[in-house]
Structure 1
Amino acid sequence: PEGTKKFATRPDSILENYRTIQNLLLSNVGIGTYLGNPDSQTDTLVEEAVRKSILSGINVIDTAINYRAQKAERSVGKAIASLISAGKIERNQIFVSTKNGYVTNDGDIKEDFWAYVQREYANSGVIRANDISSGYHCMTVPYLQDQLNRSLKNLGLECIDLMYLHNSVEGQPDISR
């Protein structure tokens, strides 16, 4: 709580632009990283947008492991790391949320989507064929744990403030309980 308070009460901040939620002082507006091509040009644009947003007073950042095939999370992580290393922010001043549950590939690995899923998840025992819904969801504990670990690595963080199950209802009709 002290970190977000320190962020929101900086000399150039406008306190009315923040709300207290669960003892955290969070900006009314956040930045999301949903769309864009999985390429290095978009990586740079997303990284710069996140960096500028934080420097402008936004301390709520939202992403997802499947956005741009993991590259959105990596861009967010680079932006955060650069601001921390430059002494502009501390980790506890920002709130980072991400999502998992969609089956995703890796935009930095040039491989067919299903070949990647087979090699990375099925061959390692993280998922079984019947675990994936027609909506490309997988909500098994082993898969969600795998995705959490990948998100932590992608973001370069030890802790994610909020992890959503991404559109989980979409995957329910054709998955047995």
Structure 2
Amino acid sequence: MATEEIKVPRIKLGSQGFEVSAQGLGCMGMSAFYGPPKPEPDMINLIHYAIERGITHLDTAETYGPHTNEILVGKALKGIPREKAEIASKCGIKIVDGKREICGEPAYVRATLEASLKRLGIDCIDLYYLHRIDKTIPIEVTIGELKKLVEEGKVKYIGLSEASPSTIRRAHAVHPITAVQLEWSLWSRDVEAEVIPTCRELGIGIVSYSPLGRGFFSSGPKLLEHMEEGDFRKYMPRLQAENLEHNMKLFHRVNDLAAKKGCTPSQLALAWVHHQGNDVCPIPGTTKIENLKQNIGALSVNLTAEDMAELETIASADVKGDRYGAGIATWETADTPPLSTWKGI
């Protein structure tokens, strides 16, 4: 499917006026978690290509590397007018002695933001997320510090990632939350019962990460074959042998419908996310320009009511295996203590 002439639309995220490209670019895999870091010049070229084609919403985080992904994005931004890109980054996961710890302490949030600004080479981050929720600190305390950073002009808009409905409500009462980032795809739909309705009730934008199922809807059975050393997806429950064979039925059904539509399975899966509403911005990641072109092509895949109904039957099928392994924080474990219990740090 041709992509060169596709004009990437703009959408509003949240109710505060924040405008982004309707599809973003997840930058994590360029530097971390999906095998060794990719060649820096190639990744800078990829980011430039994305911005030139209208994919201007770039998503990174302090913990990607750690730090190296923000440095990469910062290098790519040099020479590009600041208004040409919407930069999203995150705090909330710090590395201590090689282990990940969730932290929502105000001093940590502020220090992390200041360091991220330096690495990115900018004076204000457009969208700053709390990456994971610290269950030991009332959410009001953490959001209170983020609110100060907005008032100081260092952050434009605040977001949450993997937050429960009650946490979203409590945070939004302190300062408007512009976006909630969550995993949403044809095989990750647990957010639809409560999290998505909460966001829509409050006028909060939705940013879908891993809309291609960590590459599952791009590569299907070949995904594991192409994984490099250090790729954490090798250990994801859904991709383990006992679950993968069952889950491949889902891929084959998507593949069959994609063939009828004249698109790739990944384009069909991504188009399904785009068709969830104009308050949804998926941020598929890639390290290859050819894949980026395919992702942009998903914007021109028109799904009829019949197509959506068929995809609904496909996506309603049981998926075997959890999204993450044991011990990884998700929205289901994201509630925090009441503010009345807070005695400070």
Q: TM-score surpassing 0.5? A: yes
Partner Cα distance (1:37, 1:103) in 2: 16
Assess, with a 3 A threshold, how the Cα gap between structure 1 residues 164 and 25 changes in structure 2: closer, same or farther: closer
1:162 aligns with 2:124: no
User: Are the equivalent residues in 1 in contact too, given 2:48–2:76 (CA < 8 A)?
Assistant: yes
Pairing partner for 1:28 from 22, 25, 28: 22
* RMSD of aligned Cα (Å): 3.1
Q: Does 1:19 align with 2:7?
A: no
1:34 Cα deviation after fit: 1.5
**Candidates 87, 95, 98, aligned match of 1:96:** 87
- Paired amino acid for 2:21: S
Cα 1:43/1:136, change in 2 over 3 Å:
farther
Deviations 1:111-134 (A, max 9, x none): xx62xx8xxxxxxxxxxxxxxxx8
State how 1:94-173 maps to structure 2 within 5 Å.
Answer: 94-104=85-95, 114=97, 136-168=101-133, 170=329
- Deviation string 1:29-70 (CA, Å, 9 cap, x unpaired) is 111112245677443333222111111111111100111211
SS where residue 101 of structure 2 aligns?
coil
Counterpart in 1 of 2:54?
57
The answer to whether the aligner puts 1:46 opposite 2:72 as a matched pair is no
Distance 1:99 1:163 in 2: 5
Alpha carbons 2:31, 2:69 under 8 Å: kept: no
Contact 2:87 2:127 in 1 (8 A): yes
2:65 aligned with 1:68, yes or no?
Answer: yes
User: How much has 1:152 moved relative to structure 2?
Assistant: 0.1
1:168 counterpart SS class? coil
Take 1:40 and 1:150, find their aligned partners in 2: how far apart are those partners? 21
Structure with the greater alpha carbon radius of gyration: 2
The answer as to whether partners of 2:30 and 2:37 remain within 8 angstroms in 1 is no
Cα deviation 1:87-118 (Å, max 9, x = unaligned): xxx202321110011113xxxxxxxx62xx8x
2:211 match: none
Relative to structure 1, the CA distance from residue 35 to residue 81 in structure 2 (aligned partners, 3 Å threshold; closer, same or farther) is: same
Residues in 1 aligned to 2:59 and 2:31: alpha-carbon distance in whole angstroms? 17
Q: Which runs of 5+ in 2 are unaligned?
A: 135-328
Change (3 A) 1:136 1:24: closer
SS at 1:103 equivalent:
strand
Mapped partners of 2:9, 2:43: distance in 1: 23
- The structure-2 alpha-carbon separation of the partners of 1:42 and 1:136, relative to structure 1 and needing over 3 Å to count, comes to farther
Q: Distance in 2 between matches of 1:58 and 1:76?
A: 14
Residue type at the aligned position of 2:25? I
Cα 1:65–1:29 change in 2 (3 A) is same
Does the 8 Å contact 2:133/2:335 carry over to 1? no
* TM-score using structure 1 length: 0.63
Unaligned 5+ runs, structure 1: 1-11, 85-89, 105-112, 118-133
Alpha-carbon separation, structure 1, partners of 2:335 and 2:49: 41
